[in-house]
């Protein structure tokens, strides 16, 4: 029996099965669309909440010298603000960044818009790395992979037809690139949770259940009038500290199961909303919730509004509607 199984499951057949799985259809279109929207919201939050201070933070008169930025802008993906050496060029690049973020929010332009946003937004972060709050770490990596997926099939407006005709080889290559990039994004989420949990359980304050007490007393991470209600209650501090550790340990294995996926995703949203409110880390929380959206189950993703046509729209034939709906699928 074992010999028969070994003959049936050969490396060649395993590779062929993997290739067929990766090329058959695009996965998690709904979750990736939600991720695109959340990333655009986080970017607009950064742009607009700091709009009146834009010159001091990122302009020619920034507290972070332009020469220092040029030293760390070593890749093409970070060069956007190298030309912003005058007030006029800075204002131009900055406001183009806002417009591109709005277009990405609406899903206008598809993949080229995502590429432009990645270029402008990663450059903005590097223009003043002193402003980073942790969300940039996963955002910079995931934004690059987001450039290779189809994130505009839902929650978007487009001039293109939602179901286009492609040759078989081209369609399979597109599906494979999309799915591999999706797996890379999902892997980043798992790494963030697992690494964070591993570092925590090695720390004495986390082991003693008092880490949250010290975190909430840092002035930059305090909600006046509310944080005190948490860190002055030692039982609440102990419970929340250890809940954080166990949640982060449980997330990677549970998110990969159909049975617990919705529950653990809901817990993740509550967890990051708590971080946003209690620690004022809004962009970090929005980025994390957005990245976790790639795990959105198919039955929930199917409820998202499909792509709307601005112009040149055509009514899909029934079989095309069925095929398009089937492509929502989650991981």
From the list 65, 170, 59, 71, the residue with the least C-alpha distance to 124 is 59
**Domain positions in the chain:** 26-158+165-326
Q: Which residue in the block uniquely carries the two structure tokens 């290779």?
A: 148
Please tell me the distance from the alpha carbon of residue 93 to that of residue 183, in angstroms, as a whole number.
32
For residue 203, give both structure tokens: 């720390």
- C-alpha triplet 257, 262, 266: angle, nearest 5°: 130
For residue 14, give both structure tokens: 């395993």
Q: Where are the beta strands (DSSP E) in 119-206?
A: 157-158
pLDDT of the chain along its 331 residues, tens only? 455 545 556 777 777 777 777 778 889 999 999 999 999 999 999 999 999 999 999 999 899 998 889 888 888 878 899 888 899 999 999 999 999 999 999 999 999 999 999 999 999 999 998 888 888 889 999 999 999 999 998 988 865 544 455 667 788 889 999 999 999 999 999 999 999 999 999 999 999 999 999 999 988 888 888 888 899 999 999 999 999 999 999 999 999 999 999 999 999 999 999 999 998 899 999 999 999 999 998 888 777 776 665 544 444 444 444 444 445 555 6
Please tell me the distance from the alpha carbon of residue 77 to that of residue 116, in angstroms, as a whole number.
9
H/E run at residue 308? strand 308-309
Please tell me the distance from the alpha carbon of residue 101 to that of residue 107, in angstroms, as a whole number.
10
pTM score of the predicted model: 0.88
């Amino acid at each position: 029996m074992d010999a028969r199984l070994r003959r049936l499951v050969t490396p060649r057949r395993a590779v062929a099965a993997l290739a067929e799985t990766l090329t058959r259809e695009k996965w998690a279109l709904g979750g990736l669309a939600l991720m695109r929207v959340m990333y655009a919201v986080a970017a607009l939050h950064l742009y607009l909440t700091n709009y009146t201070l834009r010159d001091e933070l990122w302009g020619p008169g920034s507290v972070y010298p332009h020469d220092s930025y040029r030293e760390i802008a070593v890749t093409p993906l970070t060069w956007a603000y190298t030309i912003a050496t005058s007030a006029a060029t800075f204002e131009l690049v900055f406001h183009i960044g806002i417009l591109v973020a709005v277009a990405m929010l609406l899903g206008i332009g598809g993949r080229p818009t995502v590429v432009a946003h990645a270029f402008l937004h990663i450059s903005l972060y590097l223009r003043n790395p002193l402003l980073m709050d942790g969300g940039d770490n996963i955002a910079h990596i995931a934004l690059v992979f987001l450039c290779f997926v189809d994130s505009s099939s839902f929650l978007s407006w487009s001039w293109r037809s939602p179901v286009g005709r492609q040759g078989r080889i081209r369609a399979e290559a597109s599906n494979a690139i999309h799915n591999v990039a999706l797996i890379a994004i999902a892997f980043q989420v798992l790494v963030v949770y697992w690494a964070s949990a591993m570092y925590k359980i090695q720390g004495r304050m986390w082991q003693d259940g008092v880490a949250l007490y010290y975190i909430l007393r840092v002035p930059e991470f305090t909600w006046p009038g509310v944080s005190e209600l948490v860190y002055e209650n030692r039982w609440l501090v102990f419970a929340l500290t250890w809940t954080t550790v166990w949640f982060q340990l449980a997330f990677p294995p549970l998110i990969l199961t159909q049975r617990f996926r919705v529950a653990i995703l809901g817990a993740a949203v509550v967890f990051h909303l708590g971080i946003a409110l209690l620690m004022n880390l809004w962009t970090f929380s929005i980025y994390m919730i957005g990245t976790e959206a790639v795990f959105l189950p198919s039955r929930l993703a199917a409820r998202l509004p499909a792509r709307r046509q601005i112009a040149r729209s055509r009514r899909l034939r029934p079989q095309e509607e069925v095929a398009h709906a089937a492509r929502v699928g989650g991981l």
